[in-house]
Every structure is written in C-alpha cells, then in structure tokens.
C-alpha cells in the first residue's frame, strides 16, 4: 500500500527483481501503473524524487529517471518544475487498467503455451495459479 506523507507518495512496497527478464525501469513503470489502476495512487498524488526512489530500491537513478520519463511521455505522470512528479490530472484510469489487463493477457498466453508444451493439465495450472494468488 502506498503511504502518503505531506503530499508526497512514498511507495515502500515496490518489488524489484534484479534477475527478471524485465528491465528495472519496466518493473517500475508496471508497478506505478498498477498502483494507479488499483486506486492506491490517485490523480495529483506525488511520487518520490528520482534520487529517493533509486536509493530506497537500491537501483540506478538512470533507471528511475527512464521510468519517470516514459510515464510522463505516456501522460501517466507529470513533472512540476521544482516540486516533483505527480499522477497526471487528465489520466484515464480505465484505459490504464485495460492496458494492464492486456499485459496480463500476454503473460497468461505465454504461461498457457509452456503448460501445454509440457503436458500440464488445465486443472493443474488453475490450482497452481490459485496457490500463487493466495500467497501474494
């Protein structure tokens, strides 16, 4: 859950996987989108500075800056000179959620393909998903 403090949103529950296929900046982008889509971040909420987020995640400031730049270019966050980065005023939350669902669908297709190639039955896959769902 995001914690609001003096108008700034500190995001302590970002999980960065150093050995993921996704780059660090892509992981940051996905997690910001997810927090917005789930309503944990709202229009106008502030994000940590590039330096603070990089320090808390123990990643390069370049990775955080690249993520923020892409989020800005996509109209998800906006930068206010001297004040920081905020969830954009004109953000369409439903289109963001649709984009996230498409990403999940793409990953699900890959998982299904691997399961079928390895003889894993639908019931087994559903049980596995249920276990992971409940663990997270």
What integer is the mean pLDDT of 93-119?
87
Res 57 pLDDT > 50: yes
In whole angstroms, what is the distance from residue 117 CA to residue 72 CA?
Answer: 40
Per-domain residue ranges for the chain? 3-87, 93-135
**What confidence tier does 5 reach under pLDDT thresholds 50, 70, 90?**
very low
Residue showing tokens 């800056």: 65
CATH number of 3-87: 1.10.10.10
Higher-confidence position of 1 and 11: 11
**Tokens standing for residue 21:** 């296929």
């Amino acid at each position: 859950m995001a914690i609001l403090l003096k108008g700034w949103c500190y995001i302590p529950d970002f999980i960065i996987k150093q050995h993921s296929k996704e780059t660090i900046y892509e992981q940051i982008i996905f997690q910001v989108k997810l927090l917005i889509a789930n309503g944990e971040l709202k229009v106008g909420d502030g994000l940590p500075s590039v330096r603070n987020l990089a320090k808390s995640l123990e990643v390069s400031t370049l990775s955080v800056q690249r993520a923020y730049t892409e989020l800005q270019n996509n109209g998800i966050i906006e930068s206010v000179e001297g004040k920081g980065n905020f969830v954009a005023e004109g953000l369409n939350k439903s289109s963001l959620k649709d984009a996230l669902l498409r990403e999940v669908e793409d990953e699900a297709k890959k998982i299904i393909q691997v399961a079928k190639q390895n003889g894993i039955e639908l019931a087994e896959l559903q049980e596995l998903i249920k276990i992971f769902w409940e663990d997270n």
